Amino acid sequence: MTKRDYVLVFFGFILGILSIIMSLKIDLSKLPNLPDGTFIASVVLAIATIVLVKITADYAKSTESMLNEQRKSIRKDRLMKEMDLLVAPLYIRIGDNIIFQKGAQSNIDSSRPRDKEYLKFWDEVKRNKYLAPDYLRSAINNHLNNKSNTVDDKERDESYIIAENKLFQEIEKRYNQLTNELSVLEERPSEKRF
């Protein structure tokens, strides 16, 4: 137990004794050399109230601090999940002519490793795009809508090129935002920038 806990127990004990005395209706003023019982009870109650207010304020402050740390941890986990499952895989593939091609890589039942990689990549993007902010999700959807279902369609029309460039811009933008936000969240309080 801390010193604060001992003080709290002591004042609780005093309050308990006073409540027992008051419930027994013992007249403290008739006891020799004691001031009025109401005065003693008021003083003890006032001191106990002050101590209780202080302890409650300290507890509220520590609880607020813990909640802030918990919120920060939840935010960091959410951003790391977005980075790991969506943004980083897209970012490292920018410019990959196989992953970012207009047509489908192959039929869905292909056994070629590159075809499986292509299909798995886009399945993961579709599965995790809910993690993205609206602007990136919109760019992903626009890119997917401009893709062709024709296998090995290499013809890159203007609408596809615009959608692809917009997607690349939004991926880079989000990658930089996440990198900055995560570095700020990982800083210790003494390292914070002013």
107 band by pLDDT with thresholds 50, 70 and 90: low
Chain-centre distance for alpha carbon 13? 42
Q: Are 182 and 83 in contact (CB under 8 A)?
A: yes
Instruction: Note whether 159 and 146 are same-domain residues.
Output: yes
Instruction: Note whether 58 and 20 are same-domain residues.
Output: yes
51 band by pLDDT with thresholds 50, 70 and 90: confident
> pLDDT: is 57 or 3 the higher one?
57
pLDDT at 183: 93
Domain limit, last residue, from 27, 46, 67:
67
> pLDDT: is 87 or 152 the higher one?
87
Judged by average pLDDT, the poorest of 91-95, 112-116, 185-189 is: 185-189
170 band by pLDDT with thresholds 50, 70 and 90: very high
Instruction: Note whether 12 and 41 are same-domain residues.
Output: yes
> pLDDT: is 45 or 94 the higher one?
94
Instruction: Note whether 150 and 55 are same-domain residues.
Output: no
Count structural domains, the chain: 2
Judged by average pLDDT, the poorest of 10-24, 59-73, 96-110, 177-191 is: 10-24
Instruction: Note whether 90 and 182 are same-domain residues.
Output: yes
Mean per-residue pLDDT, 50-64: 82
Instruction: Note whether 91 and 183 are same-domain residues.
Output: yes
Given a cut of 70, whether residue 171 has pLDDT beyond it is yes
pLDDT, one tens digit per residue, over 61-94 is 888 888 988 999 999 999 999 999 999 999 999 9
Domain limit, last residue, from 14, 32, 67:
67
Instruction: Note whether 63 and 77 are same-domain residues.
Output: no
Instruction: Note whether 79 and 160 are same-domain residues.
Output: yes
pLDDT at 5: 67
Instruction: Note whether 81 and 158 are same-domain residues.
Output: yes
3-class state of residue 25 by DSSP: coil
Instruction: Note whether 147 and 119 are same-domain residues.
Output: yes
Instruction: Note whether 163 and 98 are same-domain residues.
Output: yes
Please list the residues that pair with 104 across neighbouring strands. Answer: 151
Instruction: Note whether 10 and 81 are same-domain residues.
Output: no
Domain limit, last residue, from 28, 51, 67:
67
* Residue 36 structural domain: 3-67
3-class state of residue 150 by DSSP: coil
